[in-house]
Structures are given as structure tokens and as C-alpha cells.
Amino acid sequence: MKIKITSYNIQYGVGQDSIYDPARTVAALLGQDIVCLQEVSTNWRDCNRDNQPQLLAAELNLFMAYAPAFEVDASTRDSSGQVTNIRRGFGNMVLSRWPILYSRAHSLPRPCVPVAQKFFPRVELPRVALETVVDVDGTPLRLISVHLSHLPGQQRVAQIEKLKQLVATLPEEAPLWDSDRSIATWSEERVAPPVTASSLILGDFNFEPDSSDYHLMVTNNKGQVAGLIDSWVASDSRGPIETTCIENDGRPSRLDYMFATEGLGQKIRTAEVDHSSKASDHFPLRFVLDLQDSL
């Protein structure tokens, strides 16, 4: 079975023309089997107060999991004192044509690091890795949607090390809940979803392929944490242009990737960047994964 997978930092639906238009985001994702998104917002003033996870899932008719990296209060109280609870959030998302068996949000570390005055933007937001396992017609597939720090230095290094540790330790975890249905009443008698050995990590990593951060991502650290495979490099066929983003200064860069553990890295058939979409400052990064063999 060949699966079409896209990673896309949607810049909360604001395109290269600085116009908010979620319909363009939807158009860029049509026909995809699994999508990992970053910079998805809820209840932002500049985004029409849209709940983007619900909006995108409904328009694409796909299963959805969403994890805000943070939420802040946007609630209201009317003249009678009645509170309407609203949370304004910003985070990562996974969409799938198959059910998402479970999802978990892993907060990424944010060590305080000095930043040069000339660096833009100097503000840093919390970051999250959204872990999901998708049931692809009976085959469990783990995908982790991530968005790493744009700040240079130790903060992103700490986040990379956390991701690699997750990939190495998740297969060793106990089941999410006890398999004895008679005592796991809260699970509504469902069997615990499988803890898979393989992972795909997709998203905006905010580093270039010639950087020390990239090297750290693909290097095995003394056998303790996994080195990962760049799916663009591992693919059987790939497009000629690797640019995935237009920087604030207009410079093209490659910041978006799909990294894979070894078993999945051997199943990447094609890789390409869709430069036709102008719905974000990033471009959709697309792969075809062949799951003909079991994981």
C-alpha cells in the first residue's frame, strides 16, 4: 500500500501575500492520506477567531488530532456574569484518512538562552511534539508532528535530543492501558492500541541541512539515542529543488523534513516540494511511503 504523506507549516493560514485564507490551506492538502501540520491556531483574532483544527478536519473530511504548544485565556463574561470559556492556542496537528488510535503531546524543553539583539524574531514560543499512531488498515504507523525553536543554540539542541530520546524509548513503553478489559472500564472495553517500534518525525525543524543541528539529528549518540534518516535523501525519487520555506528576508531555505527510523526510511518511494502553493511562507513537503511490507 502506498501512502501519500504531507508535512506543512501553514503559518496559521496566512499566505505569502499576508492574507488569511484557510481555503488555500485546504486546497494544498486535498488528496493526501496523512498530513502533519504546524502553526495551527484556535480563536486568534487575526484568523477570524476560527478553530482551525475543526475547520480543516471538516473541510478535508479526515480524522484529526491537535495539540497546542500553549493556550491562553480568551474567555468572555457577559453583562449577567455568565462566563463563556474560550482558549486561544497555537500548536501542531495530524490529519488522517484512517482513525488515529491515540495521540499524546510531549512538551519540548525551553532552556533560557541569550539571543543577540539583531536576531529576529527574538521572542520564543513554547514547542510541542504531537505523537500519534494511525491505524492504516490494520497496520499501526506512528507519526510525530513537530515544530522546533527558531532560536539558534542550546534551545534547539535540547529539543533535538528530546525527540531522539522519545524515538528510542517509545517502543520500550508499556501499553497505554491494561489489556484486561474487565478492570479497564474507562477504556470502554477497547483493546489498548499497539506501541510501535518505528516512527516518522515530520515538521518544521528550523535548521538547514548543512548545520550542526541536522548532523545531530541523524547521528547515533553512542548507541543510546537513535540516529534518524532524512527521508528526502533516502527516497527512491525526489524533486530537483529542496527549498521548503521563504525566510523573512526573502531568502529561500530548507527547514522542513521527514525523519524516519531505519525500517521506515527504507520505504520512502518519492519526495517533492509543492512550490505551487502560496498559502504559507512554507511549502507543502510531500512523500510517498510504501507499506507493502509489515512494519
Predicted pLDDT at 151? 84
Mean pLDDT in runs of 10 for the chain (295 residues)? 96 96 97 98 94 97 97 94 95 97 94 68 83 94 95 88 92 78 69 86 96 91 68 88 84 94 90 94 96 67
Q: What is the CATH number of the domain that holds 49?
A: 3.60.10.10
Q: Which domain holds residue 209?
A: 2-290
- Answer whether residue 295 is part of any domain: no
Angle formed at CA 112 by CA 107 and CA 114, multiple of 5 degrees: 140
**In whole angstroms, what is the distance from residue 231 CA to residue 236 CA?**
10
- pTM, to two decimals: 0.93
**In whole angstroms, what is the distance from residue 189 CA to residue 178 CA?**
10
Predicted pLDDT at 194? 82
Question: Per the structure, how many domains does the chain have?
Answer: 1
Strands 139-147 and 128-136: antiparallel
Cβ 6 vs Cβ 285: under 8 Å? yes
- Give me 221's grid cell: 549518540
Predicted pLDDT at 177? 78
Please list, in sequence order, all residues whose beta carbon lies within 8 angstroms of the beta carbon of residue 136, skipping any fewer than 6 positions away. 1, 3, 98, 291
